[in-house]
């Protein structure tokens, strides 16, 4: 049951979070907002951008702004699953006998930065699956629960594809958002250079604890969603399938595989947070439409025709939204 | 404040829109009924054309009521959607849907919606009537008034009813016409109309075969030898050839021992002296018997043909046998005067015709 205090606290903490992040990250407003929305909604985020646009810096800043244990894993082709999850090692007990003791890997943290996630082998990438979805890790038959809140913030580089392993669909689906980190604008670039000429240190402070973040999530969850809006969001998700009852013309033409039900859940969860961040106590069609891009773009698999015509997932999402907007007279 | 009260002024606005829409659709249906009833009245020639106005009024009223109550009457849900479309980001529809909830967050949502509503005037709700409807209405109105005027004029006897017109057209369409063509072989002409379109069962206009100098008219292709002819009771397309032969020399059409066929044709001809062909007077020759006068006439008729005193070439000119005309005309006039079955007007007409032929 949300109270007035919860609402005020949500609003204050959001402002604080954005303010602190802006001390270290210049521009990238949509990426920052998307990441915060996903974190409040309890989702993992995949950041995609060319080298040097601030992906890792943003995640490091988030680790500091949210006063929670933060760990970073640099994914490489020789990284092993045990390097992520941890493993049992032989230690000498107090009684002098050797025994197995679990040595937790970097996944045992609240915020995990999986840097250049597509450079690890599928086997190692798969080590994250259970953690990302169920917030649990199973090693040697023993399942251990991860501390809440738990997030994986992964980065990947869309170029330099040699020696990389594209993430499998199952793992892609576990990222709530895929955010495209653009190159900064000229003004932003000047600000970045001016800021880093003074100091390379990151100066942001803690603005939110893990408990507060969980409370924010609980508050946002109570935002009501009208049936019409909910139906629209689910239709949007279904419309990405080329063979569903609600398949859009764009999906029929360009999509090989549509979004999973997780996408529908993600849109609604994230839309509630977005509405509350905007100071609104209900979810609007506009929230759904704006969030459709980060939620759906990595869940839609394009067919050969789309690739041949250079039609991107974002283009298809735009077409679907346009088609549904006419149908729903939005 | 309750949701209904908050939406009251918007509902009033949208009710006006609903009434206008229902009226427009009602008029469309009513005018369509007027078109149909006006058309039916005009077609049937029914005298009480005012029935169309009654049909129009009843159908319009019924359609208006049906459209308003079943289709356009705004409910809270519709009002909420329309108001939200003014930029309220689904605040009103959410408020409406969760109006029974009492948690703090729902109360805040209602406050937020009410606050947003207070900034939106009901006049921003544009009353919208489909453009297509506005275009179709005048067209249907014109059609409706048009058919009603037609039915009224028909009922008053100013114009014919649609049924009458259709019957006339049908009759006209059922008429059949045939083509009768007169062509020439040899040096001569056919006057007057060489190609004639004749309604089934009717007669053609008379034509005359006239030979050029040093040529003579021989006969028509059906064996008929009178240069003046017309076809009576035409029921098929016909092509009739007028044969002309040189005034001197042999003619392929002159009778001899080998030309019995021509003789037969002459004997079988349907009539002579401009009398109606197939149904005219019986031919004089029989083609199978020798003619009494055949041996005395130029060209001979050894093949059984009949000598005709007309169409002789005298001093290079064709003699058409005017005295025979006169003789037969007199006989015809006499027969005509004695025939009681022909009425007076027809008799006068035929008598004039005989005079013209004689001249």
Query: Which residues in chain A have their CB less than 8 angstroms from residue B85's CB?
Result: 329-330
> Is residue B341 included in any domain, yes or no?
no
Q: What is the mean pLDDT of residues A150-174?
A: 84
A→B interface, C-beta within 8 Å: 1-4, 7, 219, 222-229, 280-286, 329-330
Query: Which residues in chain B have their CB less than 8 angstroms from residue A225's CB?
Result: 94
Res B281: pLDDT: 37
B→A interface, C-beta within 8 Å: 81, 85, 89-91, 93-95, 97-98, 101, 103-106, 108-109, 112-113
- Which residue is it, tokens 């251990």? A144
Q: Is the pLDDT of residue A266 over 60?
A: yes
- Measured CA to CA, the distance from residue B6 to residue B122 in angstroms comes to 11
> Is residue B340 included in any domain, yes or no?
no
Q: Which of A223, A228, A280 sits opposite B93 (nearest CB)?
A: A228
Which residue of B lies nearest to A330 if distances are taken between CA atoms?
A: B85
Q: Model-level pTM greater than 0.80? A: no
> Is residue A147 included in any domain, yes or no?
yes
Local structure of B195: helix, strand or coil:
strand
Q: Same domain, yes or no, for B22 and B164?
A: yes
Q: Same domain, yes or no, for B141 and B231?
A: no
Q: Same domain, yes or no, for A205 and A241?
A: no
Total of domains in chain B: 3
Query: Which residues in chain A have their CB less than 8 angstroms from residue B94's CB?
Result: 224-226, 229, 281-283
Q: Give A65→chain B minimum CA distance, Å.
A: 27
> What pairing do the DSSP bridges indicate for beta strands B177-185 and B238-246?
parallel
Q: Same domain, yes or no, for B67 and B118?
A: yes
Query: Which residues in chain B have their CB less than 8 angstroms from residue A226's CB?
Result: 90, 93-94, 97-98
- Top residue of B77, B90, B99 to mutate, by most chain A CBs within 10 Å, is B90
Higher pLDDT, A131 or A163: A131
Query: Which residues in chain A have their CB less than 8 angstroms from residue B101's CB?
Result: 224
- Top residue of A282, A286, A287, A290 to mutate, by most chain B CBs within 10 Å, is A282
CATH for A274: 1.10.8.80
Query: Which residues in chain B have their CB less than 8 angstroms from residue A274's CB?
Result: none
Q: Give A189→chain B minimum CA distance, Å.
A: 35
Total of domains in chain A: 2
Q: How many CA atoms lie within 13 A of A97 on its CB side?
A: 3
Instruction: Find the domain containing A246 and state its range.
Output: 223-328
**Interchain CB distance below 8 Å, A282 and B94:** yes
Res B290: pLDDT: 40
Res B337: pLDDT: 80
Q: Give B103→chain A minimum CA distance, Å.
A: 7
Q: How far is CA A58 from CA A24, A172, B105, in A?
A: 8, 21, 32
Q: Same domain, yes or no, for A155 and A275?
A: no
Res A93: pLDDT: 81
Q: Same domain, yes or no, for A147 and A172?
A: yes
**Interchain CB distance below 8 Å, B90 and A1:** no
Which residue of B lies nearest to A281 if distances are taken between CA atoms?
A: B109
Instruction: Find the domain containing B276 and state its range.
Output: 266-320
The angle formed by the CA atoms of residues A301, A303 and A308, to the nearest 5 degrees, is 125
> Is residue B259 included in any domain, yes or no?
no
For the stretch B150-201, pLDDT in tens is 889 988 888 888 888 888 888 877 778 889 999 999 888 888 788 998 888 8
Q: Same domain, yes or no, for B277 and B307?
A: yes
For the stretch A32-49, pLDDT in tens is 899 999 999 989 999 888
**Interchain CB distance below 8 Å, B90 and A226:** yes
> Is residue B352 included in any domain, yes or no?
no
Q: Give A12→chain B minimum CA distance, Å.
A: 17
Last residue of a domain, one of A169, A191, A216: A216
Which residue of A lies nearest to B101 if distances are taken between CA atoms?
A: A224
Higher pLDDT, B302 or A238: A238
Which residue of A lies nearest to B93 if distances are taken between CA atoms?
A: A226
- Measured CA to CA, the distance from residue A105 to residue A113 in angstroms comes to 13
In contact, B236 and B283? CB cutoff 8 Å: no
Contacts of residue B48, Cβ cutoff 8 Å, sequence gap at least 6: B41, B155
Q: Which of B93, B103, B104 sits opposite A226 (nearest CB)?
A: B93
Q: Same domain, yes or no, for B44 and B72?
A: yes
Q: Same domain, yes or no, for A63 and A122?
A: yes
Closest by CA to A266, choosing from A175, A328, A180, is A175
> Is residue B39 included in any domain, yes or no?
yes
> Is residue B326 included in any domain, yes or no?
no
> Is residue B256 included in any domain, yes or no?
no
Which residue of B lies nearest to A220 if distances are taken between CA atoms?
A: B105
Q: How far is CA A304 from CA A161, B115, B343, in A?
A: 20, 50, 94
Q: Identify the band that residue A55 occupies on the pLDDT scale cut at 50, 70 and 90.
A: confident
CATH for A130: 3.40.50.300
**Interchain CB distance below 8 Å, A280 and B112:** yes
Q: Give A219→chain B minimum CA distance, Å.
A: 9
Q: Same domain, yes or no, for A208 and A266?
A: no
Q: Same domain, yes or no, for B22 and B139?
A: yes
| Burial of A14: CB neighbours in 10 Å, binned 0-12, 13-18, 19+ | buried
Contacts 24+ apart (CB under 8 A), A131-134: A131/A85, A131/A107, A132/A44, A132/A171, A132/A174, A132/A175, A133/A174
For the stretch B27-79, pLDDT in tens is 999 999 999 999 998 888 888 888 889 999 999 999 999 999 998 888 888 88
- Measured CA to CA, the distance from residue A233 to residue A27 in angstroms comes to 29
Q: Same domain, yes or no, for B158 and B182?
A: no
**Interchain CB distance below 8 Å, B105 and A222:** yes
Q: Which of A3, A283, A330 sits opposite B104 (nearest CB)?
A: A3
Q: How many CA atoms lie within 13 A of A329 on its CB side?
A: 6
Res A319: pLDDT: 93
Q: Same domain, yes or no, for B27 and B140?
A: yes
Number of inter-chain CB pairs under 8 A, A vs B: 63
Q: Same domain, yes or no, for A200 and A311?
A: no
- Top residue of B88, B89, B111 to mutate, by most chain A CBs within 10 Å, is B89
Mean pLDDT estimate for chain A: 87
Q: Give A144→chain B minimum CA distance, Å.
A: 36
Res B359: pLDDT: 65
Output the six-digit token pair for B70: 């079943």
Res B77: pLDDT: 86
- Measured CA to CA, the distance from residue A121 to residue A23 in angstroms comes to 35
Q: What is the mean pLDDT of residues B277-298?
A: 39
Q: Identify the band that residue B257 occupies on the pLDDT scale cut at 50, 70 and 90.
A: very low
Of A161-165, B224-228, B293-297, the least confident = B293-297
Q: Same domain, yes or no, for B24 and B110?
A: yes
> Is residue A272 included in any domain, yes or no?
yes
Last residue of a domain, one of B168, B191, B209: B168
| CA of residue B9 relative to chain centroid, distance | 61
> Is residue A12 included in any domain, yes or no?
no
Last residue of a domain, one of B133, B168, B203: B168
**Interchain CB distance below 8 Å, B109 and A281:** yes
Q: Same domain, yes or no, for A185 and A310?
A: no
Q: Same domain, yes or no, for A258 and A209?
A: no
Q: Same domain, yes or no, for B164 and B188?
A: no
Q: Same domain, yes or no, for A158 and A42?
A: yes
CA dihedral (A222, A269, A69, A55) in degrees, to 10, reads -140
Q: Same domain, yes or no, for A152 and A298?
A: no
For the stretch A275-288, pLDDT in tens is 999 888 999 999 99
> Is residue B57 included in any domain, yes or no?
yes
ipTM here:
0.82
> Is residue A234 included in any domain, yes or no?
yes
Q: Same domain, yes or no, for B179 and B163?
A: no
Q: How far is CA A95 from CA A89, A98, A99, in A?
A: 17, 9, 10
Query: Which residues in chain A have their CB less than 8 angstroms from residue B106's CB?
Result: 224, 281
Q: Is the dihedral of CA A306, A312, A315, A316 positive or negative?
A: positive
Output the six-digit token pair for B77: 């849900």
Q: In chain A, count of helices (H) and strands (E)?
A: 15, 13
- Measured CA to CA, the distance from residue B143 to residue B126 in angstroms comes to 30
Q: How many CA atoms lie within 13 A of A51 on its CB side?
A: 4
Last residue of a domain, one of A161, A181, A216: A216
- Which residue is it, tokens 């805040």? B108
Res B275: pLDDT: 41
Query: Which residues in chain B have their CB less than 8 angstroms from residue A221's CB?
Result: none
Q: Is the pLDDT of residue A100 over 80?
A: yes
- Top residue of A226, A228, A288, A325 to mutate, by most chain B CBs within 10 Å, is A226
Query: Which residues in chain B have their CB less than 8 angstroms from residue A2's CB?
Result: 103-105
> What pairing do the DSSP bridges indicate for beta strands A98-104 and B177-185?
unpaired
Res B261: pLDDT: 36
For the stretch B9-22, pLDDT in tens is 888 889 999 999 99
The angle formed by the CA atoms of residues B126, B130 and B131, to the nearest 5 degrees, is 105
Last residue of a domain, one of A216, A238, A271: A216
Q: Which of A223, A227, A280 sits opposite B97 (nearest CB)?
A: A227
| Burial of B17: CB neighbours in 10 Å, binned 0-12, 13-18, 19+ | middle
Q: Is the pLDDT of residue A128 over 70?
A: yes
Query: Which residues in chain A have their CB less than 8 angstroms from residue B91's CB?
Result: 280-282, 284
CATH for B197: 2.60.40
Q: Same domain, yes or no, for A260 and A204?
A: no
Q: Same domain, yes or no, for B37 and B142?
A: yes
Last residue of a domain, one of B168, B197, B215: B168
Output the six-digit token pair for B21: 């829409």
Res A329: pLDDT: 79
Q: What is the mean pLDDT of residues A137-148?
A: 87
Which residue of B lies nearest to A278 if distances are taken between CA atoms?
A: B89
> Is residue A261 included in any domain, yes or no?
yes
Q: What is the mean pLDDT of residues A195-204?
A: 75
Closest by CA to A236, choosing from A298, A324, A302, is A324
Q: Same domain, yes or no, for A205 and A243?
A: no
> Is residue A120 included in any domain, yes or no?
yes
């Amino acid at each position: 049951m949300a109270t007035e205090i919860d609402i005020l606290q949500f609003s204050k903490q959001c402002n604080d979070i954005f303010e602190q992040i802006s001390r270290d990250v210049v521009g990238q407003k949509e990426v920052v907002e998307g990441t915060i929305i996903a974190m409040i909604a309890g989702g993992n985020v995949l950041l995609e951008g060319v080298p040097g646009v601030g992906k890792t810096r943003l995640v490091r800043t988030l680790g500091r702004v949210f006063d929670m244990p933060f760990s970073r894993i640099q994914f490489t082709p020789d990284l092993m699953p045990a390097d992520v999850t941890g493993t049992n090692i032989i230690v000498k007990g107090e009684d002098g006998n050797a025994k197995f003791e679990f040595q937790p890997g970097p996944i045992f943290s609240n915020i995990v930065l999986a840097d250049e996630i597509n450079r690890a082998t599928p086997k190692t990438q798969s080590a994250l699956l259970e953690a990302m979805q169920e917030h649990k890790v199973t090693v040697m038959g023993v399942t251990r629960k991860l501390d809440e809140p738990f997030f994986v913030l992964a980065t990947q580089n869309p170029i330099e594809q040699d020696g990389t392993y594209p993430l499998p669909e199952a793992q892609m689906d576990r990222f709530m958002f895929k955010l495209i980190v653009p190159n900064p604008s000229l003004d932003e670039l000047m600000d970045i250079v001016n800021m880093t000429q003074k100091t390379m240190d990151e100066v942001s402070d803690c603005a939110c604890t893990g408990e507060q973040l969980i409370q924010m999530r609980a508050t946002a969850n109570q935002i009501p969603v009208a049936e019409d809006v909910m139906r629209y969001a689910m239709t949007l998700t279904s419309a990405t399938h080329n063979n569903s009852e609600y398949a859009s013309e764009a999906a029929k033409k360009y999509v090989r595989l549509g979004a999973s039900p997780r996408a529908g859940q993600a849109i609604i969860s994230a839309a509630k947070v977005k509405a509350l961040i905007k100071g609104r106590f209900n979810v609007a069609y506009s929230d759904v439409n704006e969030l459709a891009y980060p939620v759906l773009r990595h869940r839609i698999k394009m067919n050969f025709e789309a690739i041949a015509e250079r039609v991107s997932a974002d283009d298809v999402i735009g077409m679907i939204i346009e088609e549904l907007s006419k149908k729903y007279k939005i | 404040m309750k949701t209904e009260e908050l939406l009251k002024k918007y509902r009033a606005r949208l009710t006006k829109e609903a009434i206008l829409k229902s009226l427009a659709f009602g008029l469309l249906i009513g005018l369509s009924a007027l078109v149909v009833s006006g058309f039916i009245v005009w077609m049937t020639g029914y005298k009480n054309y005012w029935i169309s106005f009654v049909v129009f009024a009843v159908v319009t009223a019924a359609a208006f009521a049906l459209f308003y109550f079943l289709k356009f009457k705004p409910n809270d849900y519709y009002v909420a959607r329309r108001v939200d479309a003014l930029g309220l980001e689904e605040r009103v529809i959410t408020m409406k849907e969760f109006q029974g909830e009492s948690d703090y967050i729902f109360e805040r949502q209602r406050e937020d919606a009410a606050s947003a509503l207070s900034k939106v005037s009901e006049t921003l709700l544009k009353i919208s009537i489909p453009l297509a409807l506005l275009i179709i209405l005048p067209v249907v109105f014109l059609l409706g008034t048009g058919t009603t005027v037609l039915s009224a004029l028909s009922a008053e006897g100013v114009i014919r009813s649609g049924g009458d017109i259709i019957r006339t057209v049908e009759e006209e369409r059922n008429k059949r016409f045939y083509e009768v063509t007169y062509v020439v072989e040899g040096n001569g002409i056919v006057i007057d109309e060489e190609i004639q379109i004749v309604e089934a069962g009717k007669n053609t206009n008379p034509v005359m075969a006239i030979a050029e100098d040093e040529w003579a008219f021989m006969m028509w292709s059906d064996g008929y030898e009178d240069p003046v002819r017309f076809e009576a009771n035409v029921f098929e397309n016909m092509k009739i050839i007028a044969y002309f032969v040189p005034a001197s020399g042999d003619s392929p059409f002159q009778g001899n021992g080998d030309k019995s066929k021509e003789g037969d044709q002459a004997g079988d001809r349907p009539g002579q002296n401009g009398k109606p062909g197939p149904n005219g007077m019986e031919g004089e020759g029989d083609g199978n018997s020798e003619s009494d006068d055949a041996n005395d006439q130029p060209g001979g008729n050894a093949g059984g043909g009949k000598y005709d005193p007309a169409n002789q070439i005298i001093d290079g000119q064709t003699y058409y046998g005017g005295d025979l005309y006169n003789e037969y005309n007199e006989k015809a006039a006499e027969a005509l005067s004695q025939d009681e079955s022909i009425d007076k007007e027809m008799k006068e007409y035929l008598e004039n015709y005989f005079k013209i032929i004689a001249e």
